[in-house]
Amino acid sequence: MVMDEIRGRLALVTGASGGIGAACSHQLAQHGVHLALTYSSNLTSIDELVTELQSRYAENKLRISTHKVDVGSADQIESLFREIDTQHGQRPDMLISNAGYGKRITNIWDIPLEEFDYMLNVNLRASFVLVKGVVEHMKAQRWGRIVFMSSIAAYGGGINGCHYAASKGGLTGMMKNLSTRLAEYNISVNDVAPAMIGDTGMVPNALAIQDTVATIPLGRLGTPEETANVVMMLVSTGYMTGQSLLLSGGLK
């Protein structure tokens, strides 16, 4: 893999306190990428992650900052960028918009309107606001990588309700539009659409969703590391843009 292009650059990873975000942070750090990492409530988890990254990849002399952000709030995202400006002296070269909310309510008649609005803010509007915060810098330097964390739900599958599907489907639609608008600036925009990734807050382990695991053709949960592999492929493969990559063990 051609990783030289990303070494020394700055990545913003939202939701780095969670399973998939932490795995992405590990692989980016391993390849010498400086990091701005966000968490929402889990301070312990982000602190442990940074300690681990600094010791495991010490030879990369990484600049790693952490930021408490509710991505549902545009004001808090604005403060995040002010903090990044101060602590890194630049805006991110890569955006991994991964933070997500997935309260599971299966049927539309049980989903309150407020829950729909909240989910759309956190899972969809946040990525719009985040892209606005990084895009001018990426345009100016004619290099940028944007990856959204979508879901199999974007295609109608998964175990959650229509509010989650709408938020993730919206992400994939926005990704496809942005990829055509931003290609001329050498900014790639893609998403990863995982399903049933274990060791995460959303899917702690196979026992938590036993019946669903039985339906996965590969017969097991995916791992955060496998999800991060796909993210790394996208940020290191600038010729790929406008793609939604399903990572689902064969689930449709």
Ligand X SMILES: NC(=O)c1ccc[n+]([C@@H]2O[C@H](COP(=O)([O-])OP(=O)(O)OC[C@H]3O[C@@H](n4cnc5c(N)ncnc54)[C@H](OP(=O)(O)O)[C@@H]3O)[C@@H](O)[C@H]2O)c1
149 and 20 in contact (C-beta within 8 Å)? yes
If one asks whether residue 122 binds ligand X (CB under 6 A), the answer comes out as: yes
242 and 175 in contact (C-beta within 8 Å)? yes
Distances in whole angstroms, Cα of residue 99 to Cα of each of 2, 32, 33, 68: 27, 22, 19, 12
Determine which residue in the list 1, 4, 7, 41 makes contact with ligand X, applying CB under 6 A: 41
Q: Which lies closer to ligand X via its Cβ, residue 157 or residue 242?
A: 157
If one asks whether residue 42 binds ligand X (CB under 6 A), the answer comes out as: yes
- End-to-end CA distance of the chain: give it in Å, rounded: 28
Q: Which string of x and - marks every residue 5-24 that binds ligand X (by CB under 6 A)?
A: ----------x-xxxxx---
81 and 91 in contact (C-beta within 8 Å)? yes
- Which one from 101, 164, 185, 239 is the annotated catalytic residue? 164
Q: Which string of x and - marks every residue 157-176 that binds ligand X (by CB under 6 A)?
A: --------------------
103 and 112 in contact (C-beta within 8 Å)? no
How would you label 14-33 residue by residue, b for 16+ Cβ within 10 Å and e otherwise? bbbbbbbbbbbbbbbbbbbb
If one asks whether residue 35 binds ligand X (CB under 6 A), the answer comes out as: no
Query: Strand, helix or coil at 65?
Result: strand
Q: Which lies closer to ligand X via its Cβ, residue 15 or residue 144?
A: 15
164 catalytically annotated: yes
Determine which residue in the list 134, 195, 231, 245 makes contact with ligand X, applying CB under 6 A: 195
Question: In angstroms, how far is CA 214 from the centroid of its own chain?
Answer: 27
Determine which residue in the list 32, 157, 201, 238 makes contact with ligand X, applying CB under 6 A: 201
Determine which residue in the list 6, 12, 29, 197 makes contact with ligand X, applying CB under 6 A: 197
For residue 227, the minimal CB distance to ligand X (Å) is 7
In the chain, % helix, strand, coil (3-state, to 5) comes to 50, 15, 35
Question: How many residues bind ligand X, per CB under 6 A?
Answer: 30
Length of the chain in terms of residues written: 252
Q: Which string of x and - marks every residue 55-94 that binds ligand X (by CB under 6 A)?
A: --------------xxxx----------------------
Q: Which amino acid is at 102?
A: G
Chain residues in the site for ligand X (CB under 6 A) = 15, 17-21, 39-42, 69-72, 98-102, 122, 149, 151, 194-197, 200-203
Q: Mind telling me the catalytic residues?
A: 164
